[in-house]
Amino acid sequence: MMHNTKQMHSQTQKEERKNVPADKKVVETGSEEETVALGAGLAGLMKGGDVVALYGELGAGKTCWVRGLVMALSASAGVSSPTFTILNEYPGATPVYHFDFYRLRTTTELEEIGCEEYFYGDGICVLEWPDIAEPLLPKRHWKIFFEISSETTRRIVICPPENGGSACFWA
C-alpha cells in the first residue's frame, strides 16, 4: 500500500511541472556513471549543515547520486540505500548522513530516531523519500528531483538552497 502512495506522489510531481526558478539546473545523465559523477561534482558546492532532499521513483538514480557525493567527500565507494537501516553514516572531514524514509509513516518516528539533530548538525544530510520529513527540514535546503527518461537516461532537476528548494518544480 505504501508503494502505491509513493507512485501516486511521483505522478503528482509529474503533474506539477511548472514555474521552474531561474537558478535551478536541469541535467540529463545517460548512465549510472554519469549520475555518480554529477553527485561528485555537486559535493564541491555543499557544506556542513546542508540538507539535500532527493525525490524520484524507485530506480531513478537517487542512490547512485549519493554514491558520487560520498566518494567525493569521504573516499568511500561502499554506498547502499539505507532502506532497512534508515540511516547510513559516512565519516569524513564533512560527514554524510544518508537517510531513507521509505518505510516511515509519521514525523513522530523521525523525532524518535533524532533526525532533527542531524538536520541541524554539521554534516551533510541526504534524504531519500523525504516527504514525511518536510515539516522538520530547515528552510534552507536543496531539492533534487530524479526522473526516469529511458532505461539508462535520467533527467535531474537541481534546486539550490538559495530559494530554500521550495520554489522548484519539474521543468
Query: Which CATH number goes with the domain that contains 120?
Result: 3.40.50.300
Record the cell numbers describing residue 119, joined without a space: 538536520
Residue 14 in any domain: the answer is no
Mean pLDDT for 51-80 is 88
Mean pLDDT for 98-118 is 91
Residue 6 in any domain: the answer is no
CA distance 97 to 137: 14
Domain count, the chain: 1
Inform me whether the pLDDT recorded for 1 exceeds 50.
no
Q: pTM for the complete prediction?
A: 0.80
**Residue-range definition of the domain harbouring residue 113:** 33-163
Inform me whether the pLDDT recorded for 47 exceeds 50.
yes
Q: Which among 84, 72, 87 has a CA at the least distance from the CA of 119? A: 87
| Measured CA distances, 150 to 40, 63, 128 (Å) | 23, 17, 21
CA distance 20 to 139: 18
Counts for the chain of helices (H) and strands (E), in that order: 5, 7
Residue 91 in any domain: the answer is yes
Residue 3 in any domain: the answer is no
pLDDT digits (tens, 9 = 90+) for 122-170: 999 999 999 999 999 998 899 999 999 999 999 999 998 865 444 444 4
Q: Which among 54, 63, 66, 68 has a CA at the least distance from the CA of 143? A: 54
- The residue count for the chain: 171
